Amino acid sequence: MFKKLFNYATWGIIIVLGGAFLITKFNAYTRGEKAPDFETELIDGTPFKLSDLKGEYVLLDFWASWCPPCRKQNPILVNFYNKHKDELKVVSVALERTDNAWEKASKKDGLNWKHQIVDKSRIVVLSNIARKYGVTEIPSKFLISPEGKLLGKLTFNEIETILNTK
């Protein structure tokens, strides 16, 4: 009896998470559309609205303190930021389950730009901001044009190419 109940519960969880994944993926904005705006608070408590950065390139980075691939890419992101900080703004969104793990990771990895956000959710890819961008895996990086258009989920090399051709 317990084994049967456990199997039903397991399948229920799989179906719910699969449905959430599909909803997130198919509701995401696509390249060339206006980037989804959001309002939140930066880690220092300052109110933040993504559209306030209109007129500049924005690199929107989704990461987490508990994500090894994210932590591996953070030093690359720091170098990229230092090289291009006059050409674009970096907005980091830490997708976290708890309150403070991101802070230790952020400091250790050298994330020192102003626009840092922590978006807490039990199922991190279902956080409000991540859903707007269709984030189903992290790390994920999106480039937004100065006109506010979503240029896509891109690699550092692809972003560099765009910045060099502007």
Determine the pLDDT at residue 1.
63
Determine the pLDDT at residue 2.
60
Determine the pLDDT at residue 9.
56
Q: Which residues of the chain have pLDDT under 50?
A: 12, 17-27
Determine the pLDDT at residue 89.
97
DSSP labels, the chain: -HHHHHHHHHHHHHHHHHHHHHHHHHHS--TTSBPPP-EEE-TTS-EEEGGGGTTSEEEEEEE-TT-HHHHHHHHHHHHHHHHHTTTEEEEEEEEESSSSHHHHHHHHHT---S-EEEEE-SSGGGSHHHHHTT--SSSEEEEE-TTSBEEEE--HHHHHHHHHT-
